[in-house]
Amino acid sequence: MGYKIIYEINMLQIFLVIVLLQIIFFIYAALRKTDKVTDLSYGLTFVVAVLFAYLINIEYVSIFKTVLLILVSLWGIRLSTYLFIRILKTGKDKRFDGVRENFKRFASFWLLQAVSIFIILLPTTYILITKETMSLNWISNIGLVIALLGILIEGIADSQKFIFKNKVENKGKWINTGLWKYSRHPNYLGEIMMWVGVFIYGIVYINGIELLTILSPIYITFLLVSVSGIPTLEREYDKRYGEDKEYQEYKKKTGKLLPKIL
């Protein structure tokens, strides 16, 4: 059996694992009409998927692949833990009001989440299942640093917002301290950096048709900047604080994603 066929079979297996996990979580969420596992399943599916990809060709493991496995697992575990703690605190996610009660719309969300995870993981799964000998190099080290900084920025931003929101004196306020003083969405900046870093980490070994794995950083950036991330929160904040002069000044001086230099 040719390597190309084996590669395609492995990618199909990874996709099916991702879909299966989303189906399991969806059934629980739909039956219980709960949001408590929605975001939890997101991060955990990344962890399970990369571990599965790593074990498919266990005989071809290397330090290069192991570092990538640890990197993505660290990101996924940190994110899923934070989101689960947050939903336990809030009780529900208002994004799904009117959605969780509609079977088709709710199922569509979970299907989209499965496809999104698969696309975002494209460079990672390609590297983990390839039989090519790979080793750390100066380009991969740059990618690793960018990804680690992304995890750090996203983690700090999430922590700062969680602490801020849980202080009684901050009820009804928006966060404009810490990293949020320089970016209106530093957590999304960190997440984008994570996946850009992962792509750069393996770019030396990505060639030919596999260059399409660049869809990963492009897709997550588009999703967060133009679809379900920043636009959703910006509309909510504009509706809530739009008449507040301090908020208008904050928006003027603070970059949406990247800090304003001038």
pLDDT at residue 216 in the model: 97
d(CA 130, CA 6): 10
Q: Are 172 and 244 in contact (CB under 8 A)?
A: no
Alpha-carbon gap, residue 86 to 121, rounded angstroms: 25
Residue 228 φ then ψ, to 5°: -105, -5
Domain that holds residue 247: 136-262
* Average pLDDT score over residue span 9-31: 93
Tokens of 114: 């499965």
- Nearest CA among 195, 196, 180, 186 for reference residue 230: 186
Residue 194: the pLDDT is 98
Task: Return mean pLDDT, the chain.
Answer: 90
Measured CA to CA, the distance from residue 238 to residue 184 in angstroms comes to: 12
Confidence band of 260 (pLDDT split at 50, 70, 90) = confident
Q: Predicted confidence band at 86 (pLDDT cuts at 50, 70, 90)?
A: confident
pLDDT category at 3 given cuts 50, 70, 90 is low
Query: Could you tell me how far CA 21 lies from the centroid of its own chain?
Result: 16
Beta bridge partners of 183: 255
Shared domain for 27 and 154, answered yes or no, is no
What value, to the nearest 5°, has the Cα angle with vertex 234 and ends 231 and 237? Answer: 150
Task: Give me the phi and psi of 40, to 5 degrees please.
Answer: -60, -45
- CA-CA-CA-CA torsion for 261, 221, 164, 89, nearest 10 degrees? 180
Residues 121 and 177 in one domain: no
- Per-residue pLDDT reduced to its tens digit, 233-254: 899 899 888 888 899 999 999 9
**What mean pLDDT is predicted for residues 83-89?**
87
Rounded-to-integer distance, Cα 198 and Cα 148, Å: 9
User: Do 148 and 249 belong together in one domain?
Assistant: yes
**Residue 261 has what pLDDT?**
65
Half-sphere exposure of residue 127: CA atoms within 13 angstroms, side-chain side = 30
Residues 76 and 183 in one domain: no
Whether residues 8 and 131 share a domain: the answer is yes
Q: How far apart are alpha carbons 104 and 90 in whole angstroms?
A: 25
Residues 140 and 20 in one domain: no
Same domain assignment for residues 40 and 115: yes
The pLDDT tens digits of the residues spanning 32-77 come to 888 788 888 999 999 999 999 999 988 888 999 999 999 999 999 9
pLDDT at 2: 52
3 and 131 fall within a common domain: yes
Tokens matching residue 196: 């850009």
If asked whether residues 3 and 49 sit together in one domain, one would say yes
Select from 135, 151, 168 the last residue of a domain.
Answer: 135
Contacts of 70 (CB under 8 A, 6+ apart): none
List, for residues 177-205, the tens digit of each pLDDT value. Answer: 999 999 999 999 999 999 999 999 999 99
Q: Stretch 131-149: mean pLDDT, rounded?
A: 93
The reply to whether 124 and 36 lie within a common domain is yes
Mean of pLDDT values over 17-26: 95
User: What pLDDT does 262 receive?
Assistant: 45
Tell me: pLDDT of 5 over 60: yes
Q: Which residues pair with 255 in a beta bridge?
A: 183
Handedness of CA 188, 21, 111, 212 (dihedral sign): positive
pLDDT of residue 174: 87
Whether residue 228 is predicted with pLDDT greater than 60 in this model: the reply is yes
d(CA 182, CA 185): 9
The pLDDT score that the predictor gives to residue 89 is: 83
Number of structural domains, the chain? 2
Does 92 share its domain with 123?
yes
Q: Is residue 172 exposed (0-12), middle (13-18) or buried (19+ Cβ within 10 Å)?
A: exposed
Q: Tell me the mean pLDDT in the region 148-152.
A: 98
